[in-house]
Chain A
Amino acid sequence: MPAGLPRYDYFDHDADTGVIGRGESVPQAFLRAAEATFALMCDPLTIEPRERIDVDFDEDDVELALVTWLNLLLAHASARGLALGRFELQKENNHWRGSAWGEPWRCGMDRGTQVKGATLTALRVTRQGRGWEARCVVDL
C-alpha cells in the first residue's frame, strides 16, 4: 500500500461518490473498497459482527471483479437487511471467495446514504508502488 495514504478514501463525482480501496494485494484493495462503500451507509465502528454473508464468483476481468464483489455485497446486505462492517476476500485464479460480517439495522445506528450499486465509471484497478489501488464510482 502506498505509504502515507489511508486504507480507504473517496473521490469526487457530481451526483454520486467515488470509493478507493488500497492494499498490499488486489483482494486487500477490494475489501477496503468494500469498507469505503459500506461506511457511506453506516459508521463501521458502530456495527457488531453478528451475522455473516458469503459470496463467491468467477471473473477474469479484474476491474469487473471489483464491481461484482461490491454489488454482490450490496445485494445480499440489502436482501438480509444488514449493515456490514468487516470484510474478507481471497482470490484463486479467476475465482473470488469472500465474506462479510455485520448486523441487522437497528435504532441508534449512525445512518448515512444508501449505496444503490457500484458502477463502471472511473473504474480502475492499478498497481501503486508496491501495493494496489481499486476505485470506482458508486451510485447513491
Chain B
Amino acid sequence: MDIQRLHRIDDTTWTVPSAAAERRHEARLYGSRPLLEAMDDKVLEQITNVARLPGLVGAALAMPDAHWGYGFPIGGVAAFDPDQGGIISAGGVGFDISCGIRCLRSNLTAEDIAPKAEKLADALHRDIPAGVGVEGGLRLEADELDAVMRGGARWAVEQGYGDAEDLPFIEEHGRVDGAVPTNVSVLAKKRQRGEMGTLGSGNHYLEVQRVARIHDARAAAAYGLRENQILVSIHCGSRGLGHQIGTEFLVSLAKAASRLGIALPDRELACAPIRSPEGQQYLGAMNAAINCALANRQILAHLARDTFDRRFHGVRLETLYDVSHNTCKVERHQVDGRDRLLYVHRKGATRAFGPGHPSLPAAYREVGQPVIIGGSMGTGSYILAGVAESEARSWSSASHGAGRAMSRNQALKRWRGQAVVDELGARGIIIRSHSMRGVAEEAPGAYKDIEEVAEATERAGLARRVAALRPVICVKG
C-alpha cells in the first residue's frame, strides 16, 4: 500500500480523513508501517468504500491483519445505526458466516503428548471430518436443522456434544437471538444436512498447540494458561449453510440496494437498510448461520475430546473461549458519551470486549475477553485479552489472524505440499491433510508475520498479548 496516501496519527494509527463533499466518513487503518506497506492498495480502496455506506457511525476501520477481501476488506470493522438509515451488508459479513476459533485448554504438557504425537495426529485426522467433499457422521433432517439454527451450541449440548459448562465461554453464551430459520432457503438446509461436525478446507484446521510464552501472567492465570501447556484450537465456520446464505443474499441485497436507491461504490457491498424487509430478512438468516457455526464448533470440540480421552487417561479439555470472526452483531457502544445500539460488522475481525464487560464470564471479567489470533501452521498463534481503550478505538474489535501475504496461486507456484509437510516435520510440527495442494496453498511463508500482527494489535490499543502458542500437530482441511 502506498502509505503516502494516509495521514499518520501515531505509530500504529493511520487515517484517510472524512470528506463531506464525497459523503464519506473517515477510514482508519491500524497497524505498523511494515504491515501497512505490505498491504494491497485494494485494502485502502475497500475500506474507503465502506466509509461511504449510509448510517455509518464513526470511522470505517481496518485491523492490522487486513487484506484484500470482497466488498469489505478482510479485517474490516464498521458500525451502523438503524436510527440514521444504517445498513446491514452481506459483503460486510462474508460467505463463511461466524467462521471462528474454539480454543480448548488441556491439563497436558508438551512432554505428555510427545511420545504419542504421531498416533494422536493419525487419530485426529481420522476422527475429525475435514477437507472438500467430506461429510460428518451426523445427518440432520430439516426440522433438526431448524433446531440447530435456533439453538446454536446449546442445541449441541442438549444432544450430548460437550456440556453446559462450555456455554459461558462462547460468545453470546453459545446462541444468538434473532435467528429466523424460515429465512433460510431449502437449498441452504440441503447443503448442511451432512456437514454438521465438519471442519471444511482452505485455512480451516484443528491444531494441537503448546503455550510457548506467557506475556501477561495475570490474564494467563485467569485464562488457566501456563507455559508448555497443550491447547487445541479448532478453526471453522457455518459450512454449506452459511456459504449458501452468503451467496443468496449477496445477489439479492445487491439488487435491493439498487432498488432502494443506495449508491454502492462496489456492488460487493450488497446491503439494505437494517429496518427494511430485505435487511431484516438477511439479519434473521445470518443469525441462524451464526448459531449453526457455534453448534458446529461445539460438535468438533466434542469429537476432539473423544479422541484425546481414548489416548490420555484423566485428560480434560475445557473451553477456554470461542470467538467468531465474520458477523454482524447488535451491541451497545458509547458514542460521544451516549449509549447507542449499533450493528457492528466484523469481517475477519474478532470481538474484543475489555475488562468489566457484562457479557464476559465471571472468571475473565477482570482481565477482558480472550482474543484468539490464528496463525499459519508453521509459525504459531496468539491469545490476547480485550482492553478498555478498544471500545473507543475499534468498537472493541481486534485482529483475527496472520493474514495472507501471498495469493494461493503464488503459493502453489512456490511450494509443493509434501515438501512443506516434510520441512515442518523436521521442525517437530506434524501435519495431516487430505489435500497436498491445500497444504501448499497454506504454506507458512504465504502468511504475514504473526509476531508483527500481534505486536501491532497490542501497540494499537486493540488487545494485549497474553500467550504465544506454537503448533505441535495440525490437521488441515
Contacts and interface: CB of A to CB of B under 8 A. Distances in A.
Given A111-B131, A123-B267, A79 B70 contact: no
A119 B268 contact: yes
A10 B268 contact: no
A113 B254 contact: no
Contacts of B407: 12-14, 17
Contacts, number: 135
B409 interface: yes
Contact of B202 (A76, A105, A114): A114
A6 interface: no
B473 interface: no
B246 A117 contact: yes
A12 B154 CA distance: 40
Interface in A34-88: 41-42, 64, 67-68, 71, 74-76, 78-79, 81, 83
A73 B270 CA distance: 21
Interface residues of B, number: 51
Nearest to B46: A121
Interface stretch (B103-111, B317-325, B431-439): B431-439
A113 B133 CA distance: 10
Given A79-B190, A79-B240, A120 B95 contact: no
A75 B408 CA distance: 23
A14 B133 contact: no
B68 to A, nearest CB: 4
B69 A78 contact: no
Contacts of B74: 14-15
B135 A81 contact: yes
Interface of B: 40, 42, 67-71, 74, 91, 94-96, 131-135, 187-188, 190-191, 193-194, 200-202, 240, 243-244, 246-248, 250-251, 254-255, 266-268, 270, 404, 407-410, 434-435, 437-438, 441, 477
Interface of A: 10-17, 41-42, 64, 67-68, 71, 74-76, 78-79, 81, 83, 105, 109-114, 116-121, 123, 137, 139-140
21 contacts: A12-B409, A14-B40, A16-B70, A42-B133, A64-B255, A74-B243, A75-B240, A79-B187, A81-B133, A111-B133, A113-B132, A114-B133, A114-B202, A114-B477, A117-B243, A117-B244, A117-B250, A120-B70, A120-B268, A121-B71, A137-B70
